[in-house]
Amino acid sequence: MRRLALASLAAAPLLKRRRPAACQTPLTEVEARRVLQLFDGLLFDEEYGDIHLYDISVEEEQQVEGSGGDATYGELREEILEWLLAHCEMRPQDILCDLGSGSGRALLYLALRTGLPAVGVELSPTRHRCAETLKMLAQPFLCGEVTFVQGDLSETGPQRHATVVLFANKLFSEDIFRAVAR
């Protein structure tokens, strides 16, 4: 609770400055990191000492693994995402996508930083629900539409329109990688 309160305080200047209707420009790195602090306040489990999304039920794990995926969890940190932004020139017509979007934290960070629309696909219902919650928190600062789909990344969906795709290809089999690339 204390972390959430602190995180809310950190984001207070942003809330004053930016309302949904006024959102026209993407956030700076400092501003986007403040929104991530809001996320961390929600996700962090004091007792566990980390975010609780690493643990999903056995049934969910089987659902993810049964699809040829890997239920192992991990999130791209903002340092890596900043590296990506520095090296991958985004165009105004781009649509971002994260295949296996987990909590949505990484994709939301990129959407906040670029102002671009984005689609995340996640098979685990628990992680998908989390992404929807974080999206609500980020909504006042988002310029483009962000959609999270609960489903299998190798199937088709709104992600077919994506032009910039994050994919942890080392977690998936060669066959899935080929299907996704197609």
Ligand X SMILES: C[S@@+](CC[C@H](N)C(=O)[O-])C[C@H]1O[C@@H](n2cnc3c(N)ncnc32)[C@H](O)[C@@H]1O
Binding site for ligand X (CB under 6 A): 64, 67, 69-71, 73-76, 98, 100-102, 105-106, 121-124, 127, 152-154, 166, 168, 171
When the beta carbons of 11 and 149 are compared against ligand X, the nearer one is: 149
Alpha helices in the chain (DSSP H): 2-17, 29-43, 58-66, 78-87, 105-114, 125-138, 174-181
When the beta carbons of 95 and 152 are compared against ligand X, the nearer one is: 152
CB of 180 to ligand X, least distance (A): 9
Helices (H) then strands (E): counts for the chain: 7, 6
Tokens standing for 113? Answer: 């930083």
Amino acid present at 10: A
When the beta carbons of 17 and 77 are compared against ligand X, the nearer one is: 77
CB of 50 to ligand X, least distance (A): 14
CB of 127 to ligand X, least distance (A): 5
CB of 149 to ligand X, least distance (A): 9
CA distance 142 to 93: 16
Parallel, antiparallel, or unpaired for β 118-122 and 96-99?
parallel
